[in-house]
Every structure is written in C-alpha cells, then in structure tokens.
Amino acid sequence: MQYSAELLAVHTHEANLLQAERRIAHRLAAEERASERADQAEPFARQRAFGRRGLRLALR
C-alpha cells in the first residue's frame, strides 16, 4: 500500500513538472512571437488596427 502511494506521488509530481515546463515553453514562445511582431510592425499599422478594434467594440 505504501509503495502504491509513493508511486502515485512520484507520478503526480512528474505530471506537475511536465505541465509547468509546457506552460513556461508556451509563455516563452508567446513572448518571442510578440517581440518579432513588434520589430516588424509599423507604429501606424498598430494604431490603425487598434482603431478598428475599438470601432467594432463600440458597435456591439
């Protein structure tokens, strides 16, 4: 019984570690994509997109 409890605890810990690693990888990938977009996008294009989004919200 003790062995199965320890095994369950180890597997739970490993699952938690894998989940945390996936979250970190996802966050790093998102930050990298955001920095690439910021480097490529023009300031005027970002303002124009924001204006469209604002109008869409105002019409709802």
Q: How far apart are CA 23 and CA 37, in angstroms?
A: 21
- What secondary structure letter does DSSP report for 1? -
* Interval 11-37: pLDDT, tens: 999 999 999 999 999 999 999 998 888
Q: How far apart are CA 38 and CA 53, in angstroms?
A: 18
* 14 or 46, which is more confident: 14
Domain count, the chain: 1
Alpha helix stretches (DSSP H) within the chain: 2-40, 43-59
- Residue 38 binned pLDDT confidence (cut-offs 50, 70, 90): confident
Domain that holds residue 9: 2-59
